[in-house]
Amino acid sequence: MQYRLNRRTFLKGTGTTLALPLLEAMRPPAHAAAESPAAPTRLAFVFFPNGVIQPAWKPTEAGTGYALSQTLAPLAPHRADFNIFTGLTQDNGRAKGDGAGDHARCAASFLTGAHPVKTDGADIRVGMSVDQVAAAEIGHRTPLPSLELGIERGRNAGNCDSGYSCAYSSNVSWKTPTTPMAKEIHPRAVFERLFGDGARNRARRDQYRQSILDLVSEDARRLQQQLGTTDRRKVEEYFTSVRELEQRIQRTADRQAVPVPEFDAPEGRPEDLTEHIRLMYDVLVLAFQTDTTRIATFMLANAGSNRSYTMVGVNDGHHQLSHHGNDKEKTDKIQKIDQYLVEQFGYFLDKLKSVQEGEHTLLDNSLVLYGSGLGDGNRHTHHDLPILLAGKAGGRVQTGRHVAYPENTPMNNLFLSLLDYSGANIEKIGDSSGRLTQLEG
């Protein structure tokens, strides 16, 4: 008789548990396959600030035969795994008689479709974001209902953009209209949240430089003896990825233990931006792979971020450059930033695609939205947003296309469809007017 495992099996050690990836031993017998549920659909929402240089982003043709634009060229290896959407709008990101503050509004409305209240930073009210709508419906099925990640530290008090609270610029995930979900910016803290058990065990592991795998080694040894060849190899590959990520995080922590003159960065945050972004993508892959959560948001920077991107030769601030006035030197620099962030997203797709889940990959079984709440940062437009959706929801979404929707189609119509694929039963979110068509061809 074939050895069977429950999908929610954990390896256990002293004060520690470690989730496992989907194994063949967790699948039902062949005769019951027709009755077995499909792999869960994971939802991720990746936000970047300040819009894009539209001519370098937007394809000129619709359908499957479109040519990849300059900015999206790094995603060529994944062309068959994503769709580009144009024509989508977040109308409530626009000024509704309250003047400036488009950067704050673009982040606050990005996943909510609601217009934030402007009270000189004193009070906050916007709406419930799509990720938290999904978490309320299906979050009970996983150890963590949702995961909120970021690169830049934010704050929820004070005035950050023309009378709008800093909470709007710092968050895209909102549990309630007045409660933002604070993002975690330290890779080690995210990893410990996924796999650790509080400060006491973290301190012990740090003291002895132990891997979480050491703490569950006895349970792992017993499990390996009962698994087939394919599952043993899959578990070994998973353990390798966990250990490599631990080592990378530890190396980052070790580097930061050495004082760096005139460098101001919060403790535990990697110095190198590329390493930081990729570590966050890595822990997100592990979170999805182990079914620790099925819902996540990731802010690559806060709204209106003025970070420079020296790794691609851009020393000027991002937000400052976004007000380029069509100056070619400035637009070329913005395009370099746009393409750099797309390259990092391509790394994320690589990692998702490398994880096999039965006949599909983790990317196949996910829906990952990548986009900004501004279309053109120079003009502060909230229509024709740069939106890309990767993944196939287990084969239900047809990919490899540029889908051009009518101008001012509510982006929340897309969110309603994503909620359907995730298993959440919702009739309306924000300013939605119905489901988005053409996702299935």
Q: Where do the domains of the chain lie?
A: 38-185+269-422
Q: Length of the chain in residues, anyone?
A: 441
Residues 6+ apart with CB under 8 A from 212: 13, 16, 18, 195, 196, 205, 242, 246
Average pLDDT over residues 355-374: 96
**Residue 346, pLDDT score:** 98
Average pLDDT over residues 29-33: 48
**Residue 88, pLDDT score:** 98
Average pLDDT over residues 378-401: 97
Take residue 431 and report the two structure tokens written for it.
């300013």
Backbone angles phi, psi at 322, to 5 degrees: -65, -20
CA distance 58 to 211: 45
Split at pLDDT 50, 70, 90, the class of 261 is very low
Average pLDDT over residues 349-353: 97
Tell me the CATH number for domain 38-185+269-422: 3.40.720.10
**Residue 154, pLDDT score:** 85
Largest separation between any pair of C-alpha atoms in the chain? 70
